[in-house]
Amino acid sequence: MSQAAAGANAQPDTAREPDAPFRIRAARVIVTSPGRNFVTLKIETEQGIHGVGDATLNGRELAVAAYLNDHVIPVLIGRDARRIEDIWQYLYRGAYWRRGPVTMRAIAAVDVALWDLKAKALGAPLYDLLGGKSRNGVMVYGHANGADTAETLDAVGRYLDAGYKAVRAQSGVPGVKMAYGVGRGDLYYEPADASLPTETLWDTRAYMNFAPKLFEALRVRFGEGPRLLHDVHHRLTPIEAAQLGKRLEPYDLFWMEDATPAENQEAFRLIRQHTTTPLAVGEVFNTIWDAKDLIQNQLIDYIRTSVVGVGGITHLRRIADFAALWSVRTGSHGATDLSPVTMGAALHFDTWVPNFGIQEYMRHTPETDAVFPHAYTFADGLLHPGDAPGHGVDIDEALAAKYPYEPRQLPVARLTDGTMWNW
């Protein structure tokens, strides 16, 4: 941008005078829908090295694409790709309008692409730039679900047979139309299923009576060995969440997730006072500020913020370091709406982060895997990031172009009397 275009009083921007090889030459947004929508940012330097970042926000994909195209890419061109921290601060502070899912996903895409790029330039896997390996593999949990208890038990059995050490169990609930987390197929659960939101019905009482019986049946069938997880998906009030946590205690859950909405972080104090069931929260958080009180008051056990949700590795690292002070461990969100690019970056992060807990892993479809060739592999319940330089995930642009964007939105939920509720 010329001085004239930037404004008469503008000062020269020193971050735009880099050594030529690391100058950002181009950045572009790629929207593709190989079974579901993904937004990807590709950044290239003069030297010809590129990095890739994920910017997918489920059901709101084009809002982030526009934010990147209109507000981020124009200020990226010409910057020094090595200055990851400075670019992060520029995009965060410089927007004036801080935080929010759209802004932070756009920042994440830039941040992850730059970490990828720098690691590639150095010929190192990304985990080495973060501080090196802290473990041999990343324990993941898979998603088992079924229309009823019998189907859910069978699904959990299939995950355990496949070698998973941890499984999330969700089931259809008698009296609840389309309970959260129950797929229409065998292994893939895609809630964003229609161009206008599907209306689901929620019955708290039916769910509260059902959920403990599901986990009792799981323990009877599979014994005390497997780690079992469950997602309440924001459906309960704090006192209901406290009650459920108490009722689930005999079944030794690894965690109870999103038991109540967390806009009011203080609400978790009530849950905590009543139950020792471990609590996990954070997949909808954007920054450390959403989690600060939860962490420093030890109101949760696992923080679910993801690379793509909180502005990339640069900020997720701060959250994890802060959480470590209070023995809160990481358990990053990893549903299929987080692209293989996020999964690759997450696995490098998880391989390094000292206070690692677990990583969510929902397998992508073969179509998605083909669009995003990746170095990560699954074996014996663990994911391995691979040793390729960068985060090890790329995008096949020619293949991506064959899958045009399809509008899809997340469902909404109403109580049985018609009142809007939390999906």
Q: Which residues are catalytic?
A: 180, 233
The one segment of 77-85, 109-117, 147-155, 282-290 that binds Mg ion by CB under 5 A: 282-290
Helix (H, G, I), strand (E, B) or coil at 328: coil
User: Does 58 interact with ligand KDG (rule: CB under 6 A)?
Assistant: yes
Q: How far apart are CA 68 and CA 48, in angstroms?
A: 21
Nearest partner of 375 among 357, 356, 391, 397, judged by Cα: 391
380 torsion bin: left (phi>0), alpha (psi -120 to 50), beta (else) = left
Task: Give the total of residues touching ligand KDG (CB under 6 A).
Answer: 10
Question: Look-up: residue for tokens 């399809």?
Answer: 406
Site string for ligand KDG, 396-415 (x = CB under 6 A): --------------x-----
Q: How far apart are CA 187 and CA 164, in angstroms?
A: 14
335 binds, among Mg ion, ligand KDG, none (CB under 5 to 8 A by kind): ligand KDG
Tokens representing 142 are 């898979």
129 binds, among ligand KDG, Mg ion, none (CB under 5 to 8 A by kind): none
Phi/psi of residue 201, each to 5°?
-115, 140
Residues 307-336 that bind ligand KDG (CB under 6 A): 333, 335
Residues 344-363 that bind ligand KDG (CB under 6 A): 360
Helix (H, G, I), strand (E, B) or coil at 254: coil
For the bound state, the minimum distance from the C-beta of residue 135 to ligand KDG, rounded and expressed in Å, comes to 22
Judged by beta carbon, residue 187 or residue 410, the one nearer ligand KDG is 410
For ligand KDG, which residue of 111, 203, 240, 283 counts as binding (CB under 6 A)?
283
Q: How far apart are CA 319 and CA 324, in angstroms?
A: 9
User: Does 290 interact with ligand KDG (rule: CB under 6 A)?
Assistant: no
Judged by beta carbon, residue 142 or residue 392, the one nearer ligand KDG is 142
What kind and span of H or E run contains 332? strand 329-332
User: Does 240 interact with ligand KDG (rule: CB under 6 A)?
Assistant: no
For ligand KDG, which residue of 34, 125, 191, 331 counts as binding (CB under 6 A)?
191
For Mg ion, which residue of 231, 240, 301, 350 counts as binding (CB under 5 A)?
231
Residue 226 DSSP label? S
Q: Which residues contact 6 (CB under 8 A, 6 or more apart)?
A: none
- Contact, 46 vs 25, CB < 8 A? yes
Residue nearest Mg ion by beta-carbon distance? 231
- Site residues, Mg ion (CB under 5 A): 231, 283
- Site residues, ligand KDG (CB under 6 A): 58, 191, 231, 233, 283, 333, 335, 337, 360, 410
